[in-house]
């Protein structure tokens, strides 16, 4: 039996929660949703499972061409599919890419084009109205927490990865069923799990005042650091999968408080269409470098992070994360991920302009971002 949690949005959480999907669509008045997902989930049979949960009598239309990093072009294709099938709502199934793409569809199908005018750096948040399409998000990874978040990160035609932020982009319902994460490969379990951890850490270190968000972030960090190794190395452990899914949800509930330079850099690097860099992997790799950069501007917060992670008081946090990345088999250098030197200069500028930079605990310049990139290279 699933539990219902009401915090920012409605969350159905627990094994078998996907069986409540038809009820939630009825409550939203959605009769014909479009499923936004990726080809891998279609091949795995999870899309058919969700179609059955929606209706056993009729098929539900599907857009399953979500790329590894959601793009402006893919959103336009999915909007065309939505209109072709005369849909009246959206079900997002997948990781952060599918859910963010679905948010873009919910926005662009209900607001005038072009999409870019709604980006934060274009002053677009105020242009997003409350007529965004009804959206239910069903995560199949435990990482981004996009199912409860107000943001969508979209790679534009010019390879800028831009943030779209609005409370109207928060899905109406999140259905968090850990059974849907059991088949996630170890490498993706590690990368998405580190994304959840990065959310908890960065939002806790954000200088904005929001004690409830900080409490949620610390609890999420405690869960994630306790269970991530088990989830990666013993993927059939339902308790570990459930705890990681809750940690991911908590990280996104908390990051209403803002993120920081880890995300500024990973957003910028994630825009390159040809590299297809995984957001969570980037966050994991960049975390130690940004922690060292921020350390003297965080008061007692590093000690509170150590306590949540079960570390000794004198532990070097950056080294602890390096060790965790190594245990999880994640890459240790940007060059290992295919990033080349000539990419770094534009990335530093894009990171400076990213919406997450404003809430980094230490003010960062373009030169600071260049140094961080070189350290991680």
Q: What are the pLDDT tens digits along the chain (377 aa)?
A: 676 655 789 999 999 999 999 999 999 999 999 999 999 999 999 999 999 999 988 889 999 999 988 999 999 999 999 999 999 999 999 999 999 999 999 999 999 999 999 999 999 999 999 999 999 999 999 999 999 999 999 999 998 989 999 999 999 999 999 999 999 999 999 999 999 999 999 999 999 999 999 999 999 999 999 999 999 999 999 999 999 999 999 999 998 899 999 999 999 999 888 888 999 999 999 999 999 999 999 999 999 999 999 999 999 999 999 999 999 999 999 999 999 999 999 999 999 999 999 999 999 999 999 999 999 99
Q: What angle do CA 43, 277, 117 make, to 5 degrees?
A: 95
**CATH for the stretch 3-180:** 3.40.50.1970
**Residue 198 region by backbone torsions, left for phi larger than 0, else alpha for psi between -120 and 50, else beta:** alpha
Report which of 5, 33, 37 is spatially closest to residue 21, judged by C-alpha positions.
33
Rounded-to-integer distance, Cα 372 and Cα 377, Å = 9
Predicted TM-score (pTM) of the model is 0.92
Helix (H, G, I), strand (E, B) or coil at 328: coil
The residue with tokens 């991911």 is 248
The residue with tokens 């979500």 is 66
Report which of 268, 293, 263, 292 is spatially closest to residue 280, judged by C-alpha positions.
263
- Decide: 328 and 232 in contact? Cβ < 8 Å: yes
Rounded-to-integer distance, Cα 248 and Cα 267, Å = 18
Helix (H, G, I), strand (E, B) or coil at 271: coil
Rounded-to-integer distance, Cα 217 and Cα 219, Å = 5
My answer on whether omega of the bond before 114 falls inside 30° of 0, hence cis, is yes
Residues of the chain with CATH 3.40.50.1970: 3-180
Q: What tokens does 71 get?
A: 């793009």
Residues of the chain with CATH 1.20.1090.10: 184-376
Rounded-to-integer distance, Cα 71 and Cα 79, Å = 12
Q: Which CATH number fits domain 184-376: 3.50.50.60, 2.40.160.20, 3.20.20.70, 1.20.1090.10?
A: 1.20.1090.10
How deeply is 59 buried, as exposed, middle or buried, from its count of CB atoms within 10 A (0-12, 13-18, 19+)? exposed
Rounded-to-integer distance, Cα 373 and Cα 347, Å = 9
């Amino acid at each position: 039996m699933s539990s219902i949690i009401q915090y920012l949005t409605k969350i159905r959480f627990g094994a078998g929660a996907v069986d409540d999907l038809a009820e939630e669509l009825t409550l939203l008045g959605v009769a014909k949703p479009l499923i936004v997902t990726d080809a891998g989930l279609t091949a795995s049979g999870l899309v058919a499972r969700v179609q059955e949960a929606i209706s056993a009598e009729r098929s539900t239309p599907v857009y399953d061409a979500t790329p590894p990093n959601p793009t402006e072009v893919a959103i336009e294709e999915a909007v065309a599919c939505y209109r072709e099938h005369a849909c009246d709502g959206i079900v997002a199934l997948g990781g952060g890419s599918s859910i963010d793409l679905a948010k873009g569809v919910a926005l662009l199908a209900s607001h005038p084009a072009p999409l870019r005018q709604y980006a934060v750096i274009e002053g677009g948040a105020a242009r997003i109205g409350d007529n965004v399409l009804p959206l239910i998000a069903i995560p199949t990874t435990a990482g981004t927490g996009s199912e409860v978040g107000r943001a969508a990160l979209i790679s534009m035609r010019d390879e800028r990865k831009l943030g779209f932020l609005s409370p109207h982009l928060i899905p109406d319902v999140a259905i968090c069923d850990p059974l849907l994460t059991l088949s996630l490969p170890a490498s993706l379990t590690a990368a998405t799990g580190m994304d959840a951890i990065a959310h908890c850490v960065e939002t806790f270190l954000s200088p904005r005042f929001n004690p409830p968000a900080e409490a949620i972030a610390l609890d999420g960090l405690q869960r994630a650091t306790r269970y991530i190794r088990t989830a990666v190395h013993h993927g059939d452990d339902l308790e570990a999968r459930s705890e990681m899914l809750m940690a991911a949800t908590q990280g996104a509930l908390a990051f209403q408080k803002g993120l920081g330079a880890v995300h500024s850099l990973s957003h910028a690097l994630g825009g390159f269409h040809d590299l297809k860099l995984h957001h969570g992997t980037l966050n994991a790799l960049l975390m130690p470098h940004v922690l060292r950069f921020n350390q003297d501007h965080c008061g007692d917060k590093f000690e509170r992070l150590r306590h949540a992670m079960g570390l000794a008081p004198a532990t070097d946090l950056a080294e602890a994360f390096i060790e965790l990345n190594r245990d999880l088999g994640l890459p240790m250098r940007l060059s290992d991920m295919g990033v080349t030197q000539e990419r770094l200069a534009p990335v530093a500028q894009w990171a400076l302009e990213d919406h997450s930079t404003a809430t980094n605990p230490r003010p960062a310049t373009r030169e600071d971002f260049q140094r961080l990139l070189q350290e991680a290279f």
